[in-house]
Structure formats: C-alpha cells, structure tokens
Structure 1
Amino acid sequence: MSAYIVELLGILIALGLLIFLAFRGYTLLLAAPAAAIVAAAFSGEPLLAKWTLTFMQATGRFITNFFPLFLLGGVFGKLMDDSGAALSVARCMTERLGEKRAVMAVVLACALLTYGGVSLFVVAFAVFPVAAALFRQAEVPHRLIPAAIALGAFTFTMTALPGTPAIQNAIPMAYFGTTLFAAPVLGFIASAIILGFGLWWLRLIETRAHRAGESYSAETPVATDDQFVRERAANADNFDIAELPHGHRSEELPSFALSVAPILIVLVVNLLMSLFVLPRVYTGFLAEPRFGETSLSAVSGAWSIVTALAIASLILAVIHRKRIPELRKTLDAGANASVLPVLNTASLVGFGAVVAALPAFAVVRDGFLAVPGGPLVSIAVAANVMGGITGSASGGLAITLNSLGETYAQLAASMGIQPELMHRVAAISSGALAMLPHNGAVVTLLAICGATQRGSYREIMMVGLVGPLIALTVVIALGKLFGAF
C-alpha cells in the first residue's frame, strides 16, 4: 500500500510540475516528458524506457491518427486568411447585423468561420479589428470583445455542434467508432443552450455598462512576450500563430458568397462522406494486417473530415487564385502551422500514457469510475478535470480517452449506452473547465484583443465555462432519459 501512496504522490507532483511549466510558458515538448519522467521516477520504473517507449509510442499513435486533420486544418485556415475570405465573412456579418447587434454579430461571425473549419486564432486575428471598430461605433465596452469572440469560436462550434471539424469533436471518434455527427439533436440542443446563455449574459453586462455610463475604452494590458503567447496558443489550437504573417494577405476582399462557399463545402462534403459515400464503398481491405486490421467505423470520421478539408482547400485555392499570388508560401505556412500544435497535444497524450501505465493509476481510474451517475457522468468529470489540469481542451480529452477510452467504451456497451452519446458528452466536457485562466486560448485571446484577465476573464468564464456546464448537464439528463438522438 505504501508503494501506491508514493506512486500517487509522484503522479500529483508530476501534474503540478506540468501545470507550473505550462503556466510559465515552457513548451510542452519539454514539459510533458519532464513531468512523465518525474511520475515514472516515483514508481521506480526504468526512466529511459518510459520516455523512449511508453511516452513516444503513445505520442506517435496520436500523430498517426490526427496529423492529417491538423495539417489540412492549418492549410485551410491559412488559405482563408490570405485570400481575405475570413475577413470578408467577418465584415459582412457585422455590417448586416449592425451596431444594435454588435455583440451578436461578432459571436455569429466567429461561429460561422470556426464551424466551417477555420482555425480559432485565424478567426480571432481576422475578427478582432472588425469587432473593435463595431464596438467603438456602438459604444460597447472593449472588455467584452474577448468574451464575444470566445463564445463564437471557443465553445459550441468546438465541441457541441454536430459535424464541426474541431479536433475536440474528432478525438472521440477513434475510441467510440463514431463520426463528427454523433448525437446530432443533442448537439444542437447543447449549442442552443451555450449560445443562448452566452448572448443573454453579454447582453446583460452590456446593458449594465450603459446604465453605469461605461462606453468603449481600450484597456492597458500587461506586456506579454510574443514567444510566450505563441507557446500558449499552440497548446490550444491546430494553428501556430507564428505562421500568420507568412505568405501574402489579399488587399482586395472577395464577396461574401465566394468567401462562405469553402465553409459550406467543408460541411456538405463531410456530411456526404460520413452518411452516404463511405458506408457504400468497399472497405474490406481494412481488415488486412497491412492496414492494421481495423474497420470502417474506426476511420470513417477521420476520412470524412480530411476529404472535406482537402476538397475545400483545393476549391478555395482555385476560386481565389488571383488573391493568393504567393500560393506556395501560403501553403507552406499553413502546413508549418500544424506542426507545433500536433506535437504539443501528442506530448500531452504521451504524458497521460506514462501515468496510465503506472500501477497506482488504477486508484485514479477507479476513482473516476466510482463517480455517481454512471459512465456519462464519469467521463464528463474525467474530461473536465483533465482539461482543467492541462489548460487544454484537446489535450485533456486526449489524455482522458487514451487512458480510459477503452474502459468507457466497454462500460457503455455493457450498460446499453450508445457510443454516439458518449462521444457527445466527452466532446462537450472537454471545453468547460479547460477554460480556466491558464488556458492557452484564453491567454492568447486576451493578448490579441489587448485585454486583461482582470477586465475580461469573468465574462469569458461565464460564456466559456458556465454555459457549457449547463449544456452538459442538460445533455446528460436527456441522454439518460432518451439515449442518443
């Protein structure tokens, strides 16, 4: 028993070290293996074997499964940025909704772009100047801009809306044999709750600010090192913001129709591939040893979104070819932008694999599984806790499912819980406590907007943490009553 206590102490110290190093801005490429080695050392495990075998094998599996999604997501985001399509969508949405609906305009512009597959921080950089001008005209406090962007880009379009190509919605597919459209009606209900609650809260704060005589005035943020912001951003998205200046942005913006077309292509192709094309093509070859003896259910989700992003990127490059004069540089920047984020998230998975392999982790596993409410509540708690610890929705979810995904899948099957319901609950859970102040997306968004934690975090917390927790509670309750639908 004493050995278990020492190992558990090692796990806690390793988690503390990971949080400390990440919060101080150290790259996860160093922080994750360092924390893993500390955990292994307390258990008396061979350190080199834990790093070069256990850690790296789990890291490699994650890269094998998800690098195509990161790669094409980065390329698509950079094409949308350099062609001016992202900025065009933001401007058109805000102009049509106008000053009276300034907050809603920013939220919906961000939502449309991210639901269509554009990276979070590509959206944030494109929308912020538009939001700043609109908020100034409408005399809406500047401090609400980060929350408006977060509500549109970091919440329901990342975890709840069925079909969203965000990595948080893609990770559960490999563990539950589902697609991005898992539990679609529950996903729409959760999205409506998150969006409705967030808009209500921001409207309430805006009204109070106007009554108090507060108008638009920019804060004076604490100076932040660019490299620190870059590392935090790479922990939270599939796009390295250091690549944004590379390439050549178009000075002439395309029409709204041409700008939104690639987004619609991503959604339509993804849907067609998932529901109609792949189920009808021959995939018996997947059972062969040379393809890993897998099945269509294990790969169809990834194949669908990769195909959708590839086709949308190709069409985007064609229809905007005159606006992307340096196409090679744009493509290179998009591809390069995917490398650091995927390695960061994969490193967190490697850390989780080392911890999960320790004998004492059985205590942690049993603790999560013993949470009252069954597998749905248990996986919600586990994903929330790991997301809060790592400050990363994707990293926390990946650690949770890499360590416990197979167990949850077996429990769900034995209790008659549909895998689609497990998928949706896990995805929504990943984005709640992950929005604590040390979250990379929060830190980066505040830096982009020139805002401070003191001035803007409360509203980010309400729309990005409280709203998703309310939606998660409703989804679990409905799922228990009616199953996945």
Structure 2
Amino acid sequence: MSFAIGLGGIVVALVFLTAAVYKGWSILYSSIISVIIIAVTNGLNLYEALTVNYVSSFTSYAASYFILFCEGAMLGKLYDASGAAWKIGKTVVDKCGTKFALIGYIAVAAVLEYGGISTFVICFVLLPLAKPIFKETGTPWYMWPAITIVPIIGPELMTPGGLQSHNIIPTQILGTDLTAAPVMGVVFTVVYFAICGLYFVWELKRAKNVEWKRNSLPPVDEADAGMDRENAPNIIAAILPIVVGVVLI
C-alpha cells in the first residue's frame, strides 16, 4: 500500500508540475510544491527533501551542464544576429517554392535544432523566418507553436546524433554515445514526422471552415517582410558550423 501511495504521489506531482507550467506559474515555486507532494506521500523527511535532495540535485545539474547550455544559446544568437538562420531558411524556401515552403520551414527548424542551437532560443531564431512564410502560404498563425515545436522535438529527443543536452547528458550517466540505437531512432523519427504531418494536413483543412482560424495571419512588419540581410553569410558558411558539429561526433 505504501508503495502505491508513493508512486501515486510521484504521478500527482508530475501532473501538477505540468499543469502549473502550462498555466504559466513560476517553475521555482511549482517544483518546490511538487517536491513537497513527493516527500509527504513517500514518507521522506520534508526538511531533508527540500534542503538536501532537491537543492543539491538542482545545483549539481545546473553546474555540470551550464557551459553546454551557454554554448547552445550562443550558437543560436550567432545564427540569428549574423543572418545565417535566415540565409538557410531563404535558400530552402526558394528551392521548395510556395507550395512546399512550409515543409522547407520545418526542415530548416529540424536542421538547426539537430545542429546544436539551444531549444530555449531556437524559437526566437525561427520567428522572423516564419512570419513571411506563413503569410505567403496562408497558413493560420495560431498553428505556429505546433508547427515549430514538431521539428524541435524530433531531432532533440529521437534522431541519433542530435547535439542537444537531452542526447548529450545520457552519454555521461548511462554510458551511451550520441548515436545510440540508430535504427530505432531513425524509425521513430520518420513515424513521428509522418503522424504530425497528417495532423497538420487535417488541421489546415479544418481551419478553412472557421473564420477566425482562416484569418489568423502573422503581424508582419517592414523589418520582417524585407529581410534582405545583405551582410548575411552565404549558404556554405551558414551550414558549416552544423556540419562540423555533426562530423566531430
């Protein structure tokens, strides 16, 4: 019975934490409440659970991978400020044409995420690229979060060799390498993108029948629409850091 109560407490804590983050509550306070739920339901010393287990684990994790997070954020800022992300996106979209521009956008997001740009900053890199693409293709803007998160999750959590903390940290804890389970990873990535693609097609058809969805277009200003970026690097220089990172694995 005590095992069931403890397990139930862990599930309740995770559900609460997920709901709290979804509601926009502070992750600091929400995580502390979750720890209290787990400690009480598992018969742990509340003081030790908060001051020893929680604090020591949190600070150890942050300290161990601080440089990794910083490097990912710096790479994302570099791609945004230099125009390299825009150059990659423009090249892919030009090659794909209007009909397949959205697929090109998803491909760009997947490549940038796979190449090591931090998940915490990649949305800011992709936003300037997404606005004109969504307007040109008539894609409802309310779908931007879903369409953007799909190519982020795939390379981050499933695709072998991804240069993200979720793939790098297990190499130290579990002793695996960055390309562990390549066949399984590739299969799951393909299935994942196929299912998400079918959902997007279904949702886009539904959007045509609802006025607010159909008219949900991005607020594009002159800076976004006229992104010439004359000083942006050429496509070879833009993809070079990603290629080097993947090859070094």
- Quick check: TM above 0.5? yes
- 1:265 aligned partner: 244
**Distance (whole Å) between structure 1 residues aligned to residue 92 and residue 199 of structure 2:** 21
Question: How many residue pairs get matched?
Answer: 238
The answer for unaligned runs of 5 or more in structure 2 is 219-228
Equivalent positions of 1:422-441 (< 5 A) are none
**Distance (whole Å) between structure 2 residues aligned to residue 199 and residue 79 of structure 1:** 30
Q: 1:83 to 1:192 in 2, by over 3 A?
A: same
Question: Residue 180 of structure 2 aligns to which amino acid in structure 1?
Answer: A
**Distance (whole Å) between structure 2 residues aligned to residue 90 and residue 42 of structure 1:** 50
TM-score by length of 2: 0.79
Question: Residue 92 of structure 2 aligns to which amino acid in structure 1?
Answer: M
| Aligned-pair CA distance for 1:38 | 3.9
TM-score by length of 1: 0.43
- 1:78 aligned partner: 77
Indicate which of 138, 149, 163 corresponds to 2:161. 163
Structure 1 residue 252 corresponds to structure 2 residue 234:
no
- 2:223 aligned partner: none
| Aligned-pair CA distance for 1:28 | 2.2
**2:85 and 2:238 in contact (8 A); partners too:** yes
**1:110 and 1:149 in contact (8 A); partners too:** yes
**2:171 and 2:177 in contact (8 A); partners too:** yes
Between the aligned residues of both structures, percent identity stands at 27
Deviations 1:257-282 (A, max 9, x none): 1111111111111x2xxxxxxxxxxx
- RMSD of aligned Cα (Å): 3.1
Q: 1:86 to 1:34 in 2, by over 3 A?
A: same
- 1:299 aligned partner: none
**Distance (whole Å) between structure 1 residues aligned to residue 138 and residue 14 of structure 2:** 44
- 2:86 aligned partner: 87
The answer for unaligned runs of 5 or more in structure 1 is 221-249, 272-485
Question: Residue 242 of structure 2 aligns to which amino acid in structure 1?
Answer: I
**Distance (whole Å) between structure 1 residues aligned to residue 181 and residue 214 of structure 2:** 41
Query: Looking at both structures, which has the greater relative contact order when contacts are Cα pairs under 8 Å and sequence separation is at least 6?
Result: 1
Q: 1:131 to 1:75 in 2, by over 3 A?
A: closer
Indicate which of 186, 189, 207 corresponds to 2:187. 189
**Distance (whole Å) between structure 1 residues aligned to residue 115 and residue 247 of structure 2:** 10
Q: Secondary structure at the match of 1:89?
A: helix
**Distance (whole Å) between structure 2 residues aligned to residue 6 and residue 152 of structure 1:** 38
Deviations 1:73-110 (A, max 9, x none): 12222222222212221222222211010221111111
Question: Residue 22 of structure 1 aligns to which amino acid in structure 2?
Answer: V
**2:84 and 2:238 in contact (8 A); partners too:** yes
Deviations 1:21-66 (A, max 9, x none): 4344232223222321343245554322222222223223423443
**Distance (whole Å) between structure 2 residues aligned to residue 43 and residue 88 of structure 1:** 53
Question: Residue 258 of structure 1 aligns to which amino acid in structure 2?
Answer: A
**2:139 and 2:217 in contact (8 A); partners too:** no
Question: Residue 181 of structure 1 aligns to which amino acid in structure 2?
Answer: T
Q: 1:126 to 1:69 in 2, by over 3 A?
A: closer
